[in-house]
Structure 1
């Protein structure tokens, strides 16, 4: 069966002329118009100041209502208008917008929370089949179970633009087995939203704006014009969503900033710039939860571009350092790579659930959920051993029942040696016969590292390097 939104999704990738035309406000006709994100089957944020906007003839009077919430305004000289509605106590399912010559009725609207999901291919990866990739684990059963009428999906069509666009191409659909397949919706975002909807018992809207093989610069607005590709995905796929009211953002990206530019520490300020500018665009200090890149044999599989097996470790450290940005959280994925030669781990369910746990604890105040694995805090040296203290360290153990792995130790000469590590009274003791006086310890410091240290919640420890400690604000 061909669903009605299939054609829209398929043709939006090539209909650049139609998209460009849709961004031009109507100045001759009096017909009032709404952006694509304000459409049938959507979830509107239940908030005190939810924006509704669109276009009409310059100076045209526009009235907006959703149940008992009403507002009116006039279109500006550019034809754009905007109102804000208090939807905290409203009971309705139809948004009505009236202009001088027409009225728009947007039906099947739910009130709840809306999250924007973005990034590159590991966020883009769908539940089912996709050319060049293996499907997610148990994809047949997961797709069959994707009937969730209070979960709504909006897939933003891929596009690029040199200037911020006024609109995007896409439409809201009810979550169903047919919908997740037809839209090729992000698996990580789906599992994130499904857990939130079940835990909170309220409608959840998900917006998927993701493109594989893309650097963070392409998603960052306001970059220097000397770099013409910078911001082109933000301009076409995110700018036109603002000022839609969001609860927060989930983000999975970074692999291309290892492969294309070996960013290392430079990635942290790039993340800071992206988060600051997205928050400014949407007019809210949005929670921003993201995923640390997973283990992968970059310098083996992609040796023409990556020759250093520590390149990915340096980028992971930069991602961890970005936790100093207020309102952020990060998922560690060192335990989720099923094939080190494949840059796309298949377990997106755990990724989505861990992102949801960050949101449940950080945004929704769930104190019964531990969203973080062990995070290195301090080191002491006693009797030829380095004693490591961790935050989020209740119930430390080795996930596979074996000796702790991926600890290295160095002395004053700076040479690194594999170390033995044991758990003692809630700390980890690290030693090597080659190092009489430990000076530094590193953990999971390799592109393919899959260490086994976890806490009682079963969450993996954050990779670290004692010579590159995280700022206190970054230690969650």
Structure 2
């Protein structure tokens, strides 16, 4: 009897010791920023039936783990706070997460130009930074970055799905953690903080060289009727599953996307438009919010035509891909920045100027996600054309304070064609709110193209320093998307006028 009793006591003590402790996903940790103004989800694993309590900012929510050990609670929306606070999650064990702030959180993803680190940024030629940030050269940002209200989380593909008992995924944006972090994401956060004056958290989840397909789940492709039953190559879900899915439903304000070079090398056009649409829709579904802003980067100048790949590319491959990127602006709450002026070496697919990439993305967010009506977020966007004698008059939206030639020289990048469809270099000049385009050898012009070359770095800007978006007025109907996904910016013929609308 004594042996049996001793065995029972030992078994009881052992089972109590083995009872599963609360485990948190890696995105929940010290130093994190929680999204203001939205319900806040917290989740993890514990023993089946275990009671779990979450305490933060005078809120206390309790739940029980289900039969598989999963649990989740939701706190009510909070106001922004830069006061470091403690978040306590308790059950069998107690986890105390320190230095938690409340503000704005953005998820930043894509390929190498989004992954481009602050360490690389520090090696850029200082002379390329013609505009200083806070009176300092952005190339030197690592030497003075010390704002405790900017927090960063760098997704590691192999680790995000694994728990971290030390809860150390988030960091203040400085020192070694910042060195390895995305430069576009950091400079975006810095510009947001400068304008909003609330804590900013940015999550970087990017893979160099990645196509778009791995960032979309297999289920999203299957559920999209556009693809039917066709098999999608490019390894769907390869990066979505380990690098995006585990982040939901951590509350975010929106998404930033800098990707496309790998798909441009495949000479994609409307197929990429549909894939990006699928990605946006599926990510919003994962966060259960179809209104989440999604802002992305139009590709910069690069000599794609000189590549030695299996797909033969031309000097128009990049403009056509940019056009495909533009198609996606038909989706609500989307925006795109133009980068025709942000390339120093056309044989370098990783141009510097990431501080300006981040700033322009922040302008989109400020103007649209944060309703800052005084912010000019985009450069001139072609709206409509009208034939006037031997010239074509172009009208633009997003004029800002007015049209300018950035370098004070005659406008560049314009071509004009007659009904034969042969384009010739054109003279162009600003006439108030319009641009007049003509060529001596094209007496009866019918179409205009602007920046329609991979190497084009035109000088038409608005006075706020933002470049005009590339366009062509003669877009072939075969390249337009179906009625179910028709872009707001595709040309519509109206007598002698051809018109496009803004991205909004």
Same fold (TM over 0.5): yes
1:191 aligns with 2:190: no
CA offsets 1:147-195 (integer angstroms, 9 cap, x no match) = 111101100013499xxx68799710111133211xx100000000011
Moved more, 290-299 or 47-56: 47-56
1:127 aligns with 2:155: no
Contact 1:379–1:389 (CA<8 Å) still a contact in 2? yes
1:338 aligns with 2:338: no
Q: Distance in 1 between matches of 2:202 and 2:195?
A: 16
1:219 aligns with 2:215: yes
Contact 2:107–2:255 (CA<8 Å) still a contact in 1? yes
SS in 2 for 1:232: coil
Residues 413 and 226 (structure 1), Cα distance of their counterparts in 2 relative to 1, 3 Å cut = closer
Contact 2:24–2:163 (CA<8 Å) still a contact in 1? no
Q: Which residue of 1 aligns with 2:395?
A: 389
Q: Which residue of 1 aligns with 2:51?
A: 61
CA offsets 1:429-469 (integer angstroms, 9 cap, x no match) = 11112212111111001111111100121110000011238
Q: Offset at 1:102?
A: 1.0
Q: Quick check: which has more Rg, 1 or 2?
A: 2
1:117 aligns with 2:108: yes
Q: Distance in 1 between matches of 2:197 and 2:312?
A: 45
TM-score by length of 1: 0.88
Q: Which residue of 1 aligns with 2:489?
A: 470
SS in 1 for 2:273: helix
Q: How does 1:390-409 map to 2 (within 5 A)?
A: 390-393=396-399, 394-409=401-416
Q: Which residue of 1 aligns with 2:9?
A: none
Q: Distance in 2 between matches of 1:302 and 1:283?
A: 42
SS in 1 for 2:324: helix
1:265 aligns with 2:270: yes
Which structure 1 segments of 5+ residues have no match? Answer: 1-27
Q: Distance in 2 between matches of 1:463 and 1:134?
A: 27
Which structure 2 segments of 5+ residues have no match? Answer: 1-17, 129-136, 223-230, 476-487, 491-499
Q: Distance in 1 between matches of 2:155 and 2:26?
A: 10
Q: Which residue of 2 aligns with 1:178?
A: 176
Q: Which residue of 2 aligns with 1:13?
A: none
Contact 2:392–2:438 (CA<8 Å) still a contact in 1? yes
Q: How does 1:14-413 map to 2 (within 5 A)?
A: 29-89=19-79, 93-99=85-91, 101-129=92-120, 141-159=140-158, 171-181=169-179, 184-221=180-217, 222=219, 223=221, 227=233, 229-259=235-265, 261-284=266-289, 285-302=291-308, 305-393=311-399, 394-413=401-420
Contact 2:397–2:502 (CA<8 Å) still a contact in 1? no
Q: Distance in 1 between matches of 2:203 and 2:42?
A: 17
CA offsets 1:371-417 (integer angstroms, 9 cap, x no match) = 01000011100111111110012411111111111111111111111
Q: Distance in 2 between matches of 1:339 and 1:57?
A: 57
Contact 1:30–1:60 (CA<8 Å) still a contact in 2? no
Q: Distance in 2 between matches of 1:130 and 1:353?
A: 15
Contact 2:267–2:313 (CA<8 Å) still a contact in 1? no
Q: Distance in 1 between matches of 2:386 and 2:163?
A: 55
Q: Distance in 1 between matches of 2:198 and 2:101?
A: 9
Q: Distance in 2 between matches of 1:328 and 1:49?
A: 23
CA offsets 1:318-350 (integer angstroms, 9 cap, x no match) = 111111110011110001101111011110011
Q: Offset at 1:47?
A: 2.7
Q: Distance in 2 between matches of 1:38 and 1:447?
A: 43
Residues 206 and 385 (structure 1), Cα distance of their counterparts in 2 relative to 1, 3 Å cut = same
Residues 263 and 191 (structure 1), Cα distance of their counterparts in 2 relative to 1, 3 Å cut = same
Q: Which residue of 2 aligns with 1:437?
A: 444
Q: Distance in 1 between matches of 2:448 and 2:303?
A: 23
Q: Offset at 1:303?
A: 5.7
Residues 159 and 415 (structure 1), Cα distance of their counterparts in 2 relative to 1, 3 Å cut = farther
Q: Offset at 1:146?
A: 1.3
Contact 1:361–1:369 (CA<8 Å) still a contact in 2? yes
Q: Distance in 1 between matches of 2:466 and 2:369?
A: 20
Contact 1:441–1:466 (CA<8 Å) still a contact in 2? yes
Q: How many residues align?
A: 441
Q: Which residue of 2 aligns with 1:7?
A: none
Residues 248 and 226 (structure 1), Cα distance of their counterparts in 2 relative to 1, 3 Å cut = closer
Q: Distance in 2 between matches of 1:195 and 1:376?
A: 27
Q: Which residue of 2 aligns with 1:19?
A: none
Picking from 458, 462, 476, the partner of 1:455 is: 462
